[in-house]
Chain A
Amino acid sequence: MGLLAPWFLAASLTLALPLWLHRLRTQSAEREKFSSTMLLETTEQRVHVRRRLRYLILLALRIALLALVALAFAQPFVERPPRQGLTGQNGSSFVVVDGSASMGRSGVFSQALAEVASIVDSAPAGVALQVALAAGPLRLLHEPSADRAVARRALNGIEPLPLRLDVGQLAREIGLHAASLPQPVTLHLVSDFQASAMPARFADAIPPGIARLEPHPVGTGLPVNWAVAFVRRAAHGVEVGAHAWGLTDGTADVELIINGESRGIRSITGSGPHLASFDAIELLEGENRVLVTVTANDDLDIDDRFHAVIANDPPSPVPLLTANAGGLAATYLSAALESGGEKNFEVKPMPLAEFDSRVLGRYRWAIVDDLLQLDSRLQGALREFIAGGGNLLAFGGPDGAVLDTLPIGGQRIAPAVLASRPDEFLSVGGIDARHPVLARTEGWHRLNVGQRLRVETAPHDRVLVRLDDDSPYIIEQRIGSGLLLTVLDALDNRASDLPVHPVFVGLVLEAANHLEGRATRMTNLVAGDSLLPGAGGGQIVAPDGSTLLALEATLRPRPVRLEAPGIYEVYAGDEVFLVAANVDPRESDLDPIDQEALELWRDSTHTAIAAATDGPTFAGPTRLELWPSLLLALLLVAIAESMLANHHLASRMGVSG
C-alpha cells in the first residue's frame, strides 16, 4: 500500500478535525465588555503569547498525531535506492572466478583470468564491477568500481588455492554480498564447474539477490587425473589408496616416503580405484611423517602428493581380571582391543584367584569381565584403585540379580527380566552421543538384549546407553578421581548379542581410549579445515616452518584454518603432535556438470529471482518499512500531546500549579 491508498486518503481527511475543533475553540473566545482594561495590559500580553504558543504547539501535535495514524494506514516504506553514484548507475557485474584446487590444472586458471578480463572489458559503461576469488570463503579482490582498470589490476598475482569450492556455500555468500551491490546484479561465474562441487540440493546452488547468472565454463575437455585417496597402516606394512579419472590404460608410479626416506614405488594402471601395498615397512616409534607421491602424466599436480601421519606407539598393557583367562570374555575383549590395524592396547588376562591387587597401581585402567566374580576384598581394592585415579571397565550380567547392590558401583539391583520370546528382546532406546565413548560408534539400534541387569542409577550416574524400556545399559560413574564404566550385560553371548555385534569393537576401542586418557584426535585433515591447538591455547607450525599464531594468540584457544597441504606440528600444552592436511579429494574429480545441467542452473536462477521479486525485474530498490518508526513516533507524540493538553486544560480551568 502506498501514499495513494484509499485508506490513507480517507484517514488524511481526519487532519482537518483538530483544525476545525481548534478553530471552533478560537471562535468561541468571546468578546465581552469590561468596565476597564487598564489593569489587564502588559503582564497579560506576555502570558497570552506564551499561552498562544502552547495552543499552537498543541494543535500541531494533534495534527501530527492524526497524520501519523493516517500514515500508518498507508503502510509506508522507503525505497532504499541501490548503491549508485561512484559505481553502478546501471547495476553491477559481480565476477567470481573459481580459485579452487581443481583450477590449478595446466592452463585452466590462466584461461579463467582471460575470461574475467574479457568480461571486464565488455562491461557496459556505468556498471559497477567487482571481482572475487571463490575458494573456501569468498575473497573480494577490490571494492565495486566502474573503473575497469581497478578490476583488471585486481587480477594480477592471483592463483588457485589448495582449497575446495563448495557451490552451495558460495551461493549463500554471494547472496549476502549482492545486497550491498548496485542493483541489479549480474553474476559472472568463471569456473571448471566440477560436478563434485555442486551441493546435494540443486536449489542450494541458486544465489539469492542475483538478477542474472552467466556461467563461463573453462577447462573443457576430458580431464585426466591421478590422485592419492588415503594412506593407512596395515597389519604388516602400509597401504595406499589411489584413484584415476579419465584414463583407459594409463600408468602411474606411487612412491611411499616415510620420514623423508623412500620405502618403495608401486605402479598402478587403468582408471578407477587402486590399492598399493607396501609390506614389511618398519615405522619409528611415535608419529611418522608419510608422503605419498603419484608420478603420472595428468592434468592436476596438486593432488599428486599426499601427506599422512601414522602413529606407531607401543601397545598399552591392560589387565583383564577374569575368572577364566581362556574364556570367551577374554577372547572378545582381546579381539576388539587389538583390531583396527593399530595395536594400541595389549590385553593381559589375570585370573582372579591369583590376582595381587597391589599390581593395579602399575596400570592406567583395567577391565573386569564379570563383576559378580569379585570377592569383597577385590571389590574394595578396585574401589580404592578407582578412587585413587584409576579407571575400570566392568561388565555385569543378569546373574547379578541375586544381589542387592551392584559390586563396586553400589547401585540397587532390581529383579532380572527374562525374555521368553524373540519378540520380547529389547533394543537400544537412546544413547548419549556427546560422550566420547559413543560419539563415533554406530549401529546401536541393531543390538538385541534379552536379559540384563536392572539397576537403579544414582543421581550423579551418567547413563550412556538406555534400552527401550528406559532402563540403563551402560553407566559411567565417577568414584573419587577415577571413572567406572559399567556395561550391564554379560560377555557370554547368551543374554545379548553384544560381544558379537560390530558395535562392540567400537565401544571397547573408544572406551579404551577414553579410560586410557588418550585423546582421540584427527590427524588427517583436508586443507581449509580448522584446527584447535588445545583447550588452553597452543601453537601451530606450518609445513614451511612458520608459526600460524601470534604470541598473544597462543594463550587463547582459537581454531586455526589450515590452508596449505602438508604436515603441521601442533603444540598444545605439554603435548606435541602432528596433523596432516591434504587437498580435499573431491577436488581431484575433475568431471564437470553436463551442459544441460549448467543451462538448467542458469535458467533456474532467473526463475527463482523472478519469483522472488514478483515482477519482470529481478532486483530493485530494497524496501525499508517505516511502521516501527511510525509507532514509536506515534507514542512519543501521544505522550507529548497528553502532557501539553493536561497543562493547557489546567490553565483553562484555573488550576494553579
Chain B
Amino acid sequence: MSERLPGQSAPRGLLQPEVLASLKNLDLVARSVVEGFLVGLHRSPLFGFSQEFAEYRAYAEGDDPRFIDWNVYARTERTYIKRFLGETNSHLMILLDVSASMDFGGTPVSKLRYAQFLAASLAYLANRQHDAVGCMIFDEDIRDFQPASSKAGRLQAVLHSIDRVTPGTGTSFERPFEQFRRHVSRRGLVALVSDFWCDTGRLLESVRPLAWQGQDIVLFQVLDPAEMAPGYRSNVLLEDAETGAAVEVTPEFLADEYPRKLRAHIDSIATAAAASGADHVLVNTGDSLDGALRKYLLFRQRRK
C-alpha cells in the first residue's frame, strides 16, 4: 500500500457506501475505510491518533515486547516502551442493533449493512490504536457477544461477529443492556449503533446506567435517506418492519408533517444522550463513513 503524504486528502471515493458495498470481506472494508481515512487526515495533536512519538516509559511486565525500542536498549541496555500520541490503554465496546428496522433501505446499502461497515471500521480503528475491542450484537436480546480484548486475532473475531449478523426482530435496550452491564465492569468506550426507533424515555433508562457505570458512550443513530425524506408521490401503505402494523400515508403528510416529527424525534434522542452524558452522532447512510469516524475520534480525544 502506498503511503500518502501528510496533508493529502483521502480518496473519498473509497469511503463511499456504494463502493464499500461491493467489497465482500468486512475486514477489507474496515481496513480500506480506516487506512483511507487516516491517510487523509491532517496532522494535528488534537486528534492524538497518529503514530507520532510521544514519550518513553520503562517496560513493565505485561507490555507487548513488540513496542520495546531496541535502539534505546542497545545504547542504554534498558528496556523502554515507545509510546505514541494516539496510544491509550482504553477499550471499545461496540453495541450493534440488528433489529428488523435496521434492515430498511438499500440504496446503496441498508442501514444494517452500513452499521456493519461503521462497526467494523470503529473496531479496526480502535485496534490500530491498540485499544481493546469487543462487540455486542443485539435486537430484543443479545445475539452475539465478543468481550473487549487487545490480544492478537481478537479483531478478526470481532469483525467476524459483526459480519455474520442477520436482521433480527424488535428493538429492546433494557434486557441486552442489563446483561451488558453485568458482563462489562471495566470503564471504557461504548459505541452504540442503532436507528433508535424506540421510545426516548426507555432509551434513556437503558443508557443512563451505563453512564453511571463509568462508560463513555457515543450513540450512532443510523438513518436511511428514504427514512429521512420519503419520496412517495402517492398514497402508500407503510408496514412497520418490526410490528407489522400498516398505515396508509399521504404524500402531503410525508412532505410536511413527517419531517417535523422526525426532526423532533432526533432532537429528543440527542437530548436524551446529553442527559446521560453521551454523545449523539446522526449518520446518514447516503454519506461516507469518514464523517462518523471523525466524530468518533473527536469523542475519543475528548474522553482522554
Residues on A facing B (Cβ under 8 Å) = 29-41, 43-45, 47-48, 51, 651-654, 656
Q: Say if the beta carbon of B246 comes within 8 Å of chain A.
A: yes
Which of A36, A651, A652 makes the CB contact (< 8 A) with B240? A36
In the complex, A652 Cα to B252 Cα: how many Å? 7
Interchain Cβ contacts under 8 Å between A and B, 23 examples? A31-B237, A32-B239, A33-B104, A34-B239, A34-B241, A35-B101, A35-B197, A35-B240, A36-B195, A36-B241, A37-B238, A37-B240, A37-B243, A37-B245, A38-B197, A39-B265, A44-B247, A44-B248, A44-B257, A651-B251, A652-B235, A653-B251, A654-B251
Residues on B facing A (Cβ under 8 Å) = 101-102, 104-105, 111, 195, 197, 224, 227, 230, 233-243, 245-253, 255-258, 261-262, 265
Chain B, residue nearest A55 (CB): B235
In the complex, A40 Cα to B238 Cα: how many Å? 9
In the complex, A32 Cα to B262 Cα: how many Å? 19
Count the A-B residue pairs with Cβ separation under 8 angstroms: how many? 96
Check A652–B251 contact: CB distance below 8 A.
yes
Residues of B within 8 A of A38 (CB): 197, 240
Check B233–A653 contact: CB distance below 8 A.
yes
Check A44–B249 contact: CB distance below 8 A.
yes
Q: A40-B247, A44-B250, A48-B250 are in contact. Are A35 and B235 (CB under 8 A)?
A: no
Cβ distance B103 to chain A, nearest Cβ, rounded Å: 8
In the complex, A47 Cα to B251 Cα: how many Å? 10
In the complex, A33 Cα to B247 Cα: how many Å? 10
Q: A654-B255, A656-B256 are in contact. Are A40 and B249 (CB under 8 A)?
A: yes
Residues of A within 8 A of B253 (CB): 40, 43-44, 47
Check A35–B249 contact: CB distance below 8 A.
no
If A31-B239, A34-B230, A36-B242 are given as contacts, then 8 extra A-B residue pairs at C-beta distance below 8 Å, sorted by A number, are A34-B104, A35-B111, A35-B227, A35-B240, A40-B249, A43-B257, A44-B247, A656-B252
Residues of A within 8 A of B256 (CB): 656
Check A654–B239 contact: CB distance below 8 A.
no
In the complex, A430 Cα to B197 Cα: how many Å? 103
Cβ distance A57 to chain B, nearest Cβ, rounded Å: 16
In the complex, A30 Cα to B235 Cα: how many Å? 8
In the complex, A43 Cα to B240 Cα: how many Å? 17
In the complex, A657 Cα to B247 Cα: how many Å? 24
Which of A35, A651, A653 makes the CB contact (< 8 A) with B104? A35
Check A29–B197 contact: CB distance below 8 A.
no
Chain B, residue nearest A48 (CB): B248
Chain A, residue nearest B242 (CB): A36
Cβ distance A50 to chain B, nearest Cβ, rounded Å: 9
In the complex, A38 Cα to B197 Cα: how many Å? 8
Q: A30-B236, A35-B197, A37-B247 are in contact. Are A654 and B252 (CB under 8 A)?
A: yes
Q: A35-B241, A44-B250, A48-B250 are in contact. Are A652 and B233 (CB under 8 A)?
A: yes
Residues of A within 8 A of B246 (CB): 31, 37
Q: Report the 8 A-B pairs with minimum CB-CB distance, sorted nearest first.
A: A36-B197, A35-B104, A34-B238, A35-B101, A37-B240, A31-B237, A654-B251, A39-B261
In the complex, A153 Cα to B224 Cα: how many Å? 96
Check A41–B247 contact: CB distance below 8 A.
yes
